[in-house]
Amino acid sequence: MDDILDNAPSLDGSTIDAWMGCPFAAKEYELGRQLLPDIVAVGSEIHEAFGDAVLLWCESIGSATYHQVKSAIVDRLLASRPDIQPMVLSAAAPAISSFVSFVMSVRPDNIIGFDGGEQIGKHGQLSCEIDGAIMTSEVDFLYYTGTFPDILSEIDYKSGWTFHDANSVYNSGQFQRHAILVFENFPSVDYLEVKVWNIRTNSRTPRVQFERRYLERYIERVRTAIQNRKHYYDNPPTFPTTERCGMCNVAHKCPEASNPMRDIASDPAGFIANMAAVAARLNKMEEIATAYVDAHGTIVSGDLCFGRDAPRSTRKVPAKLYEKEDEE
């Protein structure tokens, strides 16, 4: 069994999420061949800064002052990648003071793991084996509240624009995976309580509880992604939908977008699937061209221009692709 696991693929949470959707995009994601937006790098910088604060608090065995813990965050944020530093500072600013107070309210002994805690044996990275694959994920902040030994609590920092609430946390594949990892690594823990900290609004979701008795249900979801990977890895097809393609980071090389236009009369479903992929590719091209324009100015090709100084259009808004609404 150990020999088999030596060759088992190691899949992080985002890769498992990716294999629940379009196989072509998932494989590109797994191989690191995608264009990631700056917002991802902004999130990484904030996670590192918050991790530095927790590290200082633990290393000082709870003796660091408020000013020292806060400085650990601010100094790290100021040292962010220069081109995104202003975005990092404005995203993190609303939550810094509250986060420092929160960290200082938890005894270092009760902190089990955190993002950046590997230096002191409190690694937030957890792993377990499912169906011949090693699932890994990093929890931002995992701790005992100190009251009940069978309950662990998790705080997850979110610095994007998506607002999270109790419902989105409960249904999230990410937190169900964290529950699996906690229950597999801490046999005496039966409950994981999760709160998401929306950094930009400095608001926290209510505590959402995941229970060991539902472990098989959480695992089943991961199994589906692992099966998809086994099935499609060698020759991954495209599964376009407007929502998926609209957020796709490999739309610029999507094979579906390069296919010849289908005949709408004989294949209307194929026609709009192709249209979704083409639209996503065009969006990605516009993002790439916009970044170029911001660095070098308007692009001119004969009478054709691409830039921020286009004249305002008075034409009607064109018809668009959209997702069909569920029937009541």
* CA contacts within 13 A on the Cβ side of 152: 25
Closest approach, Cβ 26 to ligand SF4, in A, equals: 9
- Name the nearest CA neighbour of 183 among 145, 137, 227, 140: 137
In this structure, what token pair is assigned to residue 17?
């999420």
Q: Near ligand SF4 by CB under 6 A, which window of 22-30, 83-91, 119-127, 295-303?
A: 22-30
Measure CA of the first residue to CA of the last residue in the chain; give whole Å.
Answer: 49
| Cα separation, 95 vs 215, whole angstroms | 33
Which CB, 29 or 157, lies closer to ligand SF4? 29
| Cα separation, 23 vs 254, whole angstroms | 11
Q: In this structure, which amino acid lies at residue 76?
A: R
Closest approach, Cβ 176 to ligand SF4, in A, equals: 23
| Cα separation, 25 vs 89, whole angstroms | 31
Which CB, 45 or 256, lies closer to ligand SF4? 256
Q: At what angle do helices 173-185 and 215-232 cross, to 10 degrees?
A: 110
| Cα separation, 284 vs 302, whole angstroms | 23
Which CB, 24 or 99, lies closer to ligand SF4? 24
Count of residues engaged in binding ligand SF4, rule: CB under 6 A: 14
Closest approach, Cβ 43 to ligand SF4, in A, equals: 21
Q: Which bin fits 121, alpha (ψ -120 to 50), beta or left (φ > 0)?
A: left
Q: Helix (H, G, I), strand (E, B), or coil: what is residue 281?
A: helix
Which CB, 205 or 238, lies closer to ligand SF4? 238
Q: What are phi and psi of 31, to 5 degrees?
A: -85, 5
Closest approach, Cβ 30 to ligand SF4, in A, equals: 13
Which CB, 42 or 275, lies closer to ligand SF4? 275
Closest approach, Cβ 325 to ligand SF4, in A, equals: 21
- Name the nearest CA neighbour of 25 among 318, 321, 301, 257: 257
Is 22 a residue that touches ligand SF4 (CB under 6 A)? yes
Is 25 a residue that touches ligand SF4 (CB under 6 A)? yes
Which CB, 226 or 245, lies closer to ligand SF4? 245
Strands 191-198 and 151-158, bridge-based pairing: parallel
- 227 to 266, contacts with ligand SF4 by CB under 6 A? 238, 240, 244-245, 248, 250-251, 254, 256
* Class of residue 192 by CB neighbours under 10 A (exposed 0-12, middle 13-18, buried 19+): buried
Closest approach, Cβ 286 to ligand SF4, in A, equals: 14
Build a one-symbol-per-residue string for 122-161: x at contacts with ligand SF4 by CB under 6 A, - elsewhere.
Answer: ----------------------------------------
Is 26 a residue that touches ligand SF4 (CB under 6 A)? no
Which CB, 22 or 181, lies closer to ligand SF4? 22
Which CB, 34 or 98, lies closer to ligand SF4? 34
- 279 to 298, contacts with ligand SF4 by CB under 6 A? 280
Residues of the shown chain interacting with ligand SF4 in the complex, contacts defined by CB under 6 A: 22, 24-25, 238, 240, 244-245, 248, 250-251, 254, 256, 277, 280
